[in-house]
């Protein structure tokens, strides 16, 4: 089903990224998470909310389906369009990805799609941001299921976005370029587990924000980033997974961005408050602006700079 997402009259389209809520059963820390979401939504008034995985921590949920409903209720009840990609903790216990996707699609304001059934994972989809008057697609938002844990014998660690998903992306991207008069459509990508290139950008390029833990990317690079470079449409990617990293940096003109961990039912770091990332597209531009809002209402417009060794100014 195609859901209409449109630019505002002022030529902006704003996305709030919530990540790693780790919602459980409505405990006190879940209430804190809800209050954070309410504060961010109230301050930003987004056109779309993206949950980038680990919406729930299913191992500790008595009813994971209901926990998921409770987690997204803050957004859905306000009539804000939203979508979610799955993380490694969403479906570890008592629920499958297919079942949790069905829960997503129960909601009136959910703009997720189950995605092609033959593809690896659930919820691989493309959403379009359109001109408010003509309805013409101006931007594409790609949603990827980055999986959970490696299923290949002898390879430990997290799963990687699979080859069939990469091929699907390339096919959809090519079709979007053709429909856009041969010009790649400026696009964003959302997934939970960071690509291996998130390690590379921190080591090689000027980055903005904090890195307080290692990049927990898959042990195998399946080539999604290379495909994005070849297709020429992706201008930014957004992930979660690592709760005390929130940096972004540009690698070969693609901005690799972490969200800001939003949930209190999981680990964090003293002095690194929860929050959310805000992303604003500007009609007619290939670029976007992004900043972080913290739990106390502070906006981080100018995060600290990190220069790789040998590149300090």
Counting the structural domains of the chain, the total is 1
One-character DSSP codes across 8-59:
-TTSEEEEEEEB---B-SS-HHHHHHHHHHHHHHHHH--SEEEEES-SB-GG
Whole-structure pTM over 0.85, yes or no? Answer: yes
State the pLDDT at residue 259. Answer: 98
Taking only the tens place, the pLDDT of each residue in 203-224 is 999 999 999 999 999 999 999 9
State the pLDDT at residue 4. Answer: 82
Contacts 24+ apart (CB under 8 A), 175-182: 176/126, 176/137, 176/140, 176/233, 177/231, 177/232, 177/233, 179/137, 180/137
Average pLDDT over residues 45-73: 98
Helix (DSSP H) and strand (DSSP E) numbers for the chain: 6, 15
Give the Cα-Cα-Cα angle 54, 57, 63 (nearest 5 degrees). Answer: 125
Q: Is residue 109 part of a domain?
A: yes
Residue 1 — pLDDT band, cuts 50, 70, 90?
very low
If one compares 48 and 1, the residue with the highest pLDDT of the two is 48
Domain around 34: 5-306
Compute the residue count for the chain: 313
The Cα 146–Cα 237 span in angstroms is 13
| Torsion (CA) 256, 35, 104, 55 in degrees, nearest 10 | 50
Residue 305 has pLDDT above 80, yes or no: yes
Secondary element (H or E) of residue 100: helix 97-105
- The enclosing domain of 198 has a CATH number of 3.60.21.10
C-alpha atoms less than 13 angstroms from C-alpha of 292 in its C-beta half-sphere: 26
Chain position carrying tokens 């417009």? 301
Q: Is residue 144 part of a domain?
A: yes
Q: Is residue 186 part of a domain?
A: yes
State the pLDDT at residue 309. Answer: 81
Residue 254 three-state SS? strand
Average pLDDT over residues 94-101: 97
Q: Is residue 312 part of a domain?
A: no
Q: Is residue 41 part of a domain?
A: yes
State the pLDDT at residue 200. Answer: 97
Average pLDDT over residues 175-199: 98
CB 42 within 8 A of CB 76: no
Q: Is residue 194 part of a domain?
A: yes
Taking only the tens place, the pLDDT of each residue in 108-125 is 999 999 999 999 999 999
What does each C-alpha distance from 156 to 92, 148, 151, 174, 218 come to in angstroms? 17, 11, 8, 34, 9
Q: Is residue 313 part of a domain?
A: no
Query: Residue 72's closest CA among 53, 45, 98?
Result: 53
Q: Tell me the percentage of the chain whose pLDDT exceeds 90.
A: 97
CB 276 within 8 A of CB 15: no
CB 244 within 8 A of CB 223: no
- CA 104 to chain CA centroid, Å, is 16
Residue 313 has pLDDT above 60, yes or no: no
The average confidence (pLDDT) of the chain is 96
């Amino acid at each position: 089903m195609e859901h209409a997402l449109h630019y505002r009259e002022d030529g902006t389209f704003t996305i709030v990224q919530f990540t790693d809520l780790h919602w459980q059963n409505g405990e006190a820390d879940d209430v804190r998470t809800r209050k954070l979401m309410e504060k961010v939504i109230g301050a930003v008034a987004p056109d779309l909310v993206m949950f980038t995985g680990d919406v729930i921590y299913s191992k500790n949920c008595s009813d994971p389906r209901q926990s998921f409903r409770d987690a997204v209720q803050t957004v859905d009840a306000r009539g804000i369009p939203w979508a979610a990609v799955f993380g490694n903790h969403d479906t570890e216990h008592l629920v499958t990805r297919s079942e949790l996707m069905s829960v997503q699609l129960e909601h009136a304001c959910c703009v997720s799609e189950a995605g092609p059934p033959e593809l690896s994972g659930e919820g691989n989809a493309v959403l379009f941001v359109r001109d408010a008057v003509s309805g013409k697609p101006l931007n594409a938002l790609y949603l990827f299921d980055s999986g959970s844990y490696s299923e290949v014998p002898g390879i430990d660690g997290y799963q990687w976005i699979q080859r069939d998903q990469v091929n699907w992306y390339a096919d959809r991207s090519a079709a979007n370029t053709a429909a856009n008069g041969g010009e790649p459509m400026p696009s964003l990508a959302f997934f939970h587990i960071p690509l291996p290139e998130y390690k590379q950008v921190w080591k090689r390029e000027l980055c903005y924000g904090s890195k307080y833990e290692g990049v927990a990317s898959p042990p195998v690079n399946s080539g999604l980033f290379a495909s994005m470079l070849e297709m020429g449409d992706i201008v930014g990617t957004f992930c979660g997974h690592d709760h005390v990293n929130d940096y972004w940096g540009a690698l070969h003109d693609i901005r690799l961005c972490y969200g800001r961990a939003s949930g209190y039912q999981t680990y964090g770091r003293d002095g690194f408050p929860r929050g959310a990332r805000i992303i604003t597209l500007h009609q007619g531009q290939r670029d976007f602006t992004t900043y972080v809002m913290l739990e106390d209402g502070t906006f981080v417009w100018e995060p600290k700079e990190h220069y790789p060794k040998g590149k300090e100014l």
